[in-house]
Structure 1
Amino acid sequence: MIEKIRILRETALCKIKEAAGSAEIEELRVKLLGKKGELTEMLKELKNMAIDERKLLGQEANALKNELSESLEIKFKELSANDVERSLSNSSSFDISLPGTQFKVGSLHPVTIVQKEIERIFTGMGFNIVDGPEAEEEFYNFEALNIPKHHPARDMQDTYWLENGSLLRTHTSPCQVRAMQKYGAPLKIIAPGRCFRNESTDASHENTFFQLEGMMIDKNISIANLIYVMKLLLSEVFNRDVEIRLRPGFFPFVEPGFELDLNCMICGGKGCPTCKHSGWVELLPCGMVHPNVLRAGGIDPEEYTGFAFGLGLTRLAMMKYGINDIRVLNSGDLRMMEQFSIR
């Protein structure tokens, strides 16, 4: 038996040394150490021997097993490295001396950059960020916002209706009512999101755009609070004082309602297609929350007041980065997106 172990050792180590590939090493491992390998079969014979002889031969066989396993592992690593080197040297399209491939890293969409910045500003003022469904119920999109069926205000928002009776939300205002129902008063929330309207597109209008709804409800909230928060927001976004104007505007869910316009930053107020040659961009409809909307949200208008606003994230991004056509933002043109390095 000792002689068999000696012969197997010499033969196996010789074959391992002469192996020409990693596949051949794997075959040797199975042949020598596998379940039916030569050394395994030899170990099975030990049960028929005397205890003293079994102990001695067992030690020799286990020592050989460890030696062969180590030799096989070393040779396998050596041959695997050679296989890789040969593969690289045989490839006509690969030059190991060249620098590595430079992969392009994407950047955030300008609307996303503006949204994150505004979220940072409002959370710093104690506002919470909420969300709502894009496929909205008619109640939340219209009725709860003081826009009953057949109300003329619905004509302002030509809508995409779905077969199940819901609709693609035309604004993020439904989040107001959902937040009031869930959290009650006092309340400070913003709700950024995507909106949809079936309207003709031009340099300042798209059928898919982004808004950010905001609301603050507490006791003794006034228009002065609204103006202060809006000016603080815009000065933070543009990193300077901005010129705004507040003019009366009708929105069923606020009373009184206002249009907050921003002096066009594309043309400096001189007039261009983006501002419809008026020098001003309609940016921020706002006003004091209508009592009917407070009631729909489960809040007593005799005890609480509040203001609400709807900020056009898409238009704000246009003003901030000097983009003169809103349609560019949904074009998927990577050449435009590559200009924004904030990631």
Structure 2
Amino acid sequence: MLDDIKVLEQEVQEFEVNNEDQLEAFRLEFLSRNGKVQSMFKNMGKVPKEDRAQVGKAMNQVKMLAESKFEDAQQSLAQDQSKDLSAKDDLSLTPPSYPLGSLHPLTQTLEEMKSIFYRLGFTIADGPEIEDDFHNFTALNFPPNHPARDEQDTFFIRKNEDPDVQDLVLRTHTSPVQIRLMENTEPPIRAIMPGRVYRNEAVSPKSYFLFHQVEALYVDENVSVADLKETLVTFAKLMFGTDVKYRLRPGFFPFTEPSLEMDVWWGSEKDGKWLEILGSGMVDPNVFKHSGVDPEKYTGFAWGMGVERIAILRHGIDDIRTFYENDVRFLEQFN
């Protein structure tokens, strides 16, 4: 047994360790759980009692030799690596800072609006941005001669003289999603419809041909104007603060009756002004009929608002075009 220990001691001494791979090989061969040193200790039971003290001492010496050689080699390799580090690799230096991206202000505003609607129990519905005439106009109670059907107000993808072929348009609001939802869903319905919409408008600080809307629809038995008012007021307080000053006034929309518009007071008590934030109303019975919902059984309310309008109010932006110019100086303000 002592002869075997001497052979092992010589192997430890002669093993070359000049790099990380050789260091790991040394550890596996001699110091791991199944290495030669541990295997040697496992044979201790075969040693006669009178020789165990001498053999045990020799075994511990070999173990300490192997551990010492491993630690010395490990430190030596670490020192060699530190000498090779250049100034740019100095791990004690402060790392360079890189610009971080952030959500677009419109996305931030939309996400906040969606979170409020989630709290109020609404889900999200989606629909196509290219719509047919029925879902974009007819089902929403727009008469044939309504100005919105004119090419000066709407982007037409396909306009036909044939009455049997429907016109196709870039949707002018997200209300068509309400129609599609009611066509395919049995009430009760409580959902919002966020998305892009398009209007054939001249570009100016206050208008753009592309913008975003969030519309809401609630359909059930015995839904009343009181339910609509309570939902509007709750949204305004969650969006603008509990001390928001608001007012509701009569309005007109082809697809709701009665219709209401909501304004909030913006600015100081002395120099502020009323700003419209949304339009709303009770769903017109004709809209229910076009959508396959029984107006004798169900009532409901709908309302919609522009995301850009809310973002402009929240951040004091005076030109809607800045949302689409991708100016980094503007976007960095919302990091």
Asked whether the two chains share a fold, i.e. TM above 0.5, the reply is: yes
**Aligned-pair CA distance for 1:306:** 1.5
Distance (whole Å) between structure 2 residues aligned to residue 96 and residue 15 of structure 1: 32
- Alignment partner, residue 117 of structure 2: 122
Distance (whole Å) between structure 1 residues aligned to residue 248 and residue 325 of structure 2: 31
The residue type equivalent to 2:197 in the other structure is: C
Q: How does 1:30-179 map to 2 (within 5 A)?
A: 81-82=78-79, 84-87=81-84, 90-124=85-119, 126-138=120-132, 139-147=134-142, 152-155=147-150, 157-159=153-155, 161=157, 168-179=170-181
Q: Are 2:253 and 1:250 aligned?
A: yes
Cα distance change on mapping 1:229 and 1:11 into 2, 3 Å? closer
- Alignment partner, residue 327 of structure 1: 321
- Alignment partner, residue 279 of structure 2: 285
> Which deviations, in whole Å up to 9, do the C-alpha atoms of 1:155-208 show, x marking residues without a partner?
37522638xx96543322122123323432222222222323343222122233
Distance (whole Å) between structure 2 residues aligned to residue 76 and residue 207 of structure 1: 71
Q: Secondary structure at the match of 1:339?
A: helix
Checking the alignment, whether the CA contact within 8 Å between 1:216 and 1:306 is kept in structure 2 is yes
Q: Secondary structure at the match of 1:211?
A: strand
**Aligned-pair CA distance for 1:299:** 0.9
Q: TM-score when scaled to structure 1?
A: 0.66
Distance (whole Å) between structure 1 residues aligned to residue 211 and residue 80 of structure 2: 55
Q: Are 2:306 and 1:312 aligned?
A: yes
The residue type equivalent to 1:14 in the other structure is: E
**Aligned-pair CA distance for 1:255:** 3.1
> Which deviations, in whole Å up to 9, do the C-alpha atoms of 1:108-136 show, x marking residues without a partner?
33333333333333333x43221313434
- Alignment partner, residue 232 of structure 1: 234
Q: Are 2:294 and 1:300 aligned?
A: yes
Cα distance change on mapping 1:121 and 1:92 into 2, 3 Å? closer
Checking the alignment, whether the CA contact within 8 Å between 1:184 and 1:298 is kept in structure 2 is no
Cα distance change on mapping 1:83 and 1:254 into 2, 3 Å? farther
The residue type equivalent to 1:174 in the other structure is: P
Q: Are 2:222 and 1:220 aligned?
A: yes
**Aligned-pair CA distance for 1:327:** 1.6
- Alignment partner, residue 241 of structure 1: 244
Distance (whole Å) between structure 2 residues aligned to residue 236 and residue 80 of structure 1: 62
**Aligned-pair CA distance for 1:325:** 1.3
Checking the alignment, whether the CA contact within 8 Å between 1:197 and 1:208 is kept in structure 2 is yes
The residue type equivalent to 2:157 in the other structure is: W
The residue type equivalent to 1:312 in the other structure is: G
Distance (whole Å) between structure 1 residues aligned to residue 191 and residue 106 of structure 2: 20
- Which one of 302, 316, 338 corresponds to residue 332 of structure 2? 338
Cα distance change on mapping 1:220 and 1:102 into 2, 3 Å? same
Distance (whole Å) between structure 1 residues aligned to residue 244 and residue 99 of structure 2: 36
Checking the alignment, whether the CA contact within 8 Å between 2:196 and 2:212 is kept in structure 1 is yes
Checking the alignment, whether the CA contact within 8 Å between 2:23 and 2:74 is kept in structure 1 is no
Distance (whole Å) between structure 1 residues aligned to residue 186 and residue 231 of structure 2: 21
Distance (whole Å) between structure 2 residues aligned to residue 78 and residue 298 of structure 1: 80
**Aligned-pair CA distance for 1:309:** 0.9
Q: Secondary structure at the match of 2:249?
A: strand
Cα distance change on mapping 1:147 and 1:73 into 2, 3 Å? farther
Distance (whole Å) between structure 1 residues aligned to residue 270 and residue 236 of structure 2: 16
> Which deviations, in whole Å up to 9, do the C-alpha atoms of 1:51-82 show, x marking residues without a partner?
xxxxxxxxxxxxxxx9xx99998788657645
State the percentage of identical aligned residues.
35
Cα distance change on mapping 1:268 and 1:304 into 2, 3 Å? farther
> Which deviations, in whole Å up to 9, do the C-alpha atoms of 1:226-281 show, x marking residues without a partner?
33322332232111232335243333x223444444445599877xxxxxxxx554
**Aligned-pair CA distance for 1:301:** 1.0
Distance (whole Å) between structure 1 residues aligned to residue 77 and residue 98 of structure 2: 28
**Aligned-pair CA distance for 1:328:** 1.7
RMSD, matched Cα = 4.6
The residue type equivalent to 2:246 in the other structure is: E
- Alignment partner, residue 205 of structure 1: 207
Q: Secondary structure at the match of 1:180?
A: helix
Return 5+ residue gaps in structure 2 as ranges.
Answer: 30-62, 159-166
The residue type equivalent to 2:287 in the other structure is: V
Checking the alignment, whether the CA contact within 8 Å between 1:13 and 1:71 is kept in structure 2 is no
Checking the alignment, whether the CA contact within 8 Å between 1:244 and 1:260 is kept in structure 2 is yes
- Which one of 186, 189, 194 corresponds to residue 188 of structure 2? 186
